[in-house]
């Protein structure tokens, strides 16, 4: 049987915590639980200690002051990883995340590295309205689009993580200590695995107590979102320049290989046009193989990818021809200068087609 840990963080949840622990035990009787409490002034920590004294599967960690939801979740993730749990399920402790979904998450974790409850897919909904609905909706929209996260829901903590994923994640690399932890962590997850799933949830208003999310926290989350977006742009630029250098090197090698093939065919007595066509074909195959295997380390199926590659090549050939003609005939350039100028445009354009359309890279 799988070893499951259910994690939640508490700050002033005395009206919810007892019922929550009982519900978790009801819906997932074999699971262990971990609660991180930040010295809640309302005595949540003491309630937890009392329950834990007669419930060996409940573990409580006390921190001496409110240190933020993100750092509490990081502790939970490390605890699950270091104690060799097969699955970690995280949730809020105020009944916005209904414990009746727990068996469903446990079942989804049979096939996934990561799952998240979602208010924003078909079947999902939320009790939020007015300002809170607006904040939640905009946060998800921005996080999803600025960070390229392939989930409709990026900000809720009702999630499942596999042991494999927790081992792959550099948990300390997540810098957010507050609510932005949720989109920062899902951003990291989306770069590590495709084996993910979203399931619809009804996100209810908290059962008792008050919200802990402040305006300062929202402002900090916006700053963190911009920081992650900037990281994304710079790392994409870094990756792109690496791919571009390799692409250019392959291009130079390709010119040499095509020229040698062309000469070889001529030596073997092939006619000029046939030697030209054959060397062109050898060039295409050669360039495709290097780009697929060395540059982009692609994982796409061979046939559609080859079709895309040839299409990109043909587009680039005609683009080059069009520019050459217009530079020579309209602008009166010398043929050599015209070709050199055309290359300045066609090489980057072809590279972008290869990078974002032809080749699909593994995570
Ligand atoms: N340990 C710890 N738990 C926290 C902290 N901040 C929030 N929590 C807990 O994190 C969960 C989410 O916080 P909420 O206040 O419910 O945030 P929210 O769901 O955005 O707001 P509401 O919808 O109003 O409940 C709850 O279980 C809180 O008790 C913190 O600094 N430390
Ligand atoms: Mg809540």
Res 235: pLDDT: 84
Whether 207 and 266 share a structural domain: no
User: What distance in Å separates the CA atoms of residue 178 and residue 86, rounded to the nearest whole number?
Assistant: 26
Ligand 1 pocket mutation, candidates 212, 216, 218, criterion most atoms within 8 A of CB: 212
Whether 208 and 270 share a structural domain: no
> Which residue, chain included where needed, has tokens 């309630």?
47
Is the distance from CB of 32 to CB of 6 less than 8 angstroms? yes
Ligand 2 centroid–CA 206 distance in Å is 5
The b-or-e profile of 59-72 (16+ CB within 10 A means b, else e) is bbbebeeebbbbbb
Of 213, 229, 259, the residue at which a domain comes to its end is: 213
Whether 277 and 316 share a structural domain: yes
Res 354: pLDDT: 93
Give the pair of three-digit tokens for residue 344: 């300045």
Give yes or no for residue 156 CB within 6 A of ligand 1: no
In a domain, 222, yes or no: no
Give yes or no for residue 153 CB within 6 A of ligand 1: no
Is the distance from CB of 76 to CB of 32 less than 8 angstroms? no
Whether 209 and 326 share a structural domain: no
Whether 287 and 350 share a structural domain: yes
Of 159, 179, 213, the residue at which a domain comes to its end is: 213
Whether 204 and 119 share a structural domain: yes
In a domain, 234, yes or no: no
In a domain, 220, yes or no: no
Give yes or no for residue 91 CB within 6 A of ligand 1: no
Res 108: pLDDT: 98
Dihedral of CA atoms 164, 167, 172, 176 in degrees, nearest 10, equals 0
* Domain assignment of residue 92, given as a range: 4-213
In a domain, 350, yes or no: yes
Whether 16 and 149 share a structural domain: yes
Q: 35: helix, coil or strand?
A: strand
In a domain, 197, yes or no: yes
Give yes or no for residue 93 CB within 6 A of ligand 1: yes
33 secondary structure, DSSP code = E
Whether 315 and 353 share a structural domain: yes
Ligand 2 centroid–CA 94 distance in Å is 6
pTM of the model: 0.74
Ligand 1 centroid–CA 83 distance in Å is 25
Ligand 2 centroid–CA 211 distance in Å is 6
In a domain, 218, yes or no: no
Give yes or no for residue 9 CB within 6 A of ligand 1: yes
Ligand 2 centroid–CA 208 distance in Å is 10
In a domain, 125, yes or no: yes
- CATH code of the domain covering residue 60: 3.90.550.10
Give the pair of three-digit tokens for residue 294: 């060395």
Contacts of 269 (CB under 8 A, 6+ apart): none
Work out how many domains the chain is built from and give that number.
Answer: 2
Whether 192 and 245 share a structural domain: no
Closest ligand to the CA of 91: 1
101 secondary structure, DSSP code = G
The protein residue with its alpha carbon nearest to ligand 1, atom 5, reads: 69
The protein residue with its alpha carbon nearest to ligand 1, atom 21, reads: 211
Contacts of 247 (CB under 8 A, 6+ apart): 291, 295, 351, 354
In a domain, 207, yes or no: yes
Give yes or no for residue 96 CB within 6 A of ligand 1: yes
Ligand 1, atom nearest to 67 Cα: 31
Give yes or no for residue 220 CB within 6 A of ligand 1: no
Ligand 1 centroid–CA 97 distance in Å is 12
Nearest to 93 by CA among 179, 202, 17, 182: 17
Residues in the chain where the model's pLDDT stays below 50: none
Q: 314: helix, coil or strand?
A: helix
Ligand 2 centroid–CA 294 distance in Å is 48
Res 236: pLDDT: 83
Give yes or no for residue 10 CB within 6 A of ligand 1: yes
Give yes or no for residue 40 CB within 6 A of ligand 1: no
Closest ligand to the CA of 40: 1
Whether 137 and 275 share a structural domain: no
Closest ligand to the CA of 205: 1
Whether 64 and 172 share a structural domain: yes
Ligand 1 centroid–CA 157 distance in Å is 10
Query: Residues, the chain, total?
Result: 363
Whether 12 and 124 share a structural domain: yes
User: What distance in Å separates the CA atoms of residue 305 and residue 363, rounded to the nearest whole number?
Assistant: 18
């Amino acid at each position: 049987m799988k070893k499951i840990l259910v994690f939640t963080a508490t700050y002033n949840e005395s009206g919810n915590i007892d019922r929550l622990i009982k519900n978790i035990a009801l819906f997932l009787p074999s699971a262990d639980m971990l609660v991180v409490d930040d010295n809640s002034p309302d005595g949540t920590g003491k309630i937890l200690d009392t329950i834990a004294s007669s419930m060996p599967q409940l573990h409580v960690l006390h921190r001496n002051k409110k240190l933020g939801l993100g750092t509490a979740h990081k502790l939970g993730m490390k605890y699950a990883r270091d104690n060799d749990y097969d699955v970690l399920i995280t949730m809020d402790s105020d009944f916005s995340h209904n414990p009746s979904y727990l068996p469903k998450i446990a079942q989804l974790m049979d096939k996934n590295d990561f799952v998240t409850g979602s208010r924003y897919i078909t079947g999902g909904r939320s009790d939020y309205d007015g300002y809170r609905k607006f904040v939640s909706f905009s946060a998800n929209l921005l996080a999803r689009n600025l960070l390229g996260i392939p989930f409709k829901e990026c900000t809720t903590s009702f999630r499942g993580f596999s042991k494999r994923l927790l081992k792959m994640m550099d948990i300390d690399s997540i810098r957010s200590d507050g609510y932005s932890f949720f989109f920062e962590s899902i951003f990291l997850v989306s770069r590590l695995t495709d084996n993910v799933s979203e399931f619809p949830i009804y996100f209810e208003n908290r059962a008792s107590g008050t919200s802990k999310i402040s305006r300062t926290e929202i402002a900090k989350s916006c700053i963190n979102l911009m920081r992650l977006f900037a990281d994304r742009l710079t790392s994409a630029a870094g990756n792109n320049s690496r791919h571009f250098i390799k692409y250019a090197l392959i291009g130079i090698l390709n010119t040499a290989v095509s020229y040698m093939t062309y000469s070889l065919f001529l030596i073997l007595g092939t006619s000029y046009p046939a030697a030209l066509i054959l060397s062109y074909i050898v060039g295409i195959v050669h360039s495709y193989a290097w780009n697929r295997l060395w540059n982009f380390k692609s994982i796409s199926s061979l046939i559609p990818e080859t079709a895309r590659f040839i299409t990109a090549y043909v587009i680039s050939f005609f683009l080059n021809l069009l520019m050459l003609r217009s530079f020579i005939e309209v602008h009166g350039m010398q043929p050599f200068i015209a070709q050199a100028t055309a290359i300045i445009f066609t090489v980057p354009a072809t590279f972008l087609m290869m990078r974002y359309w032809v080749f699909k890279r593994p995570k």
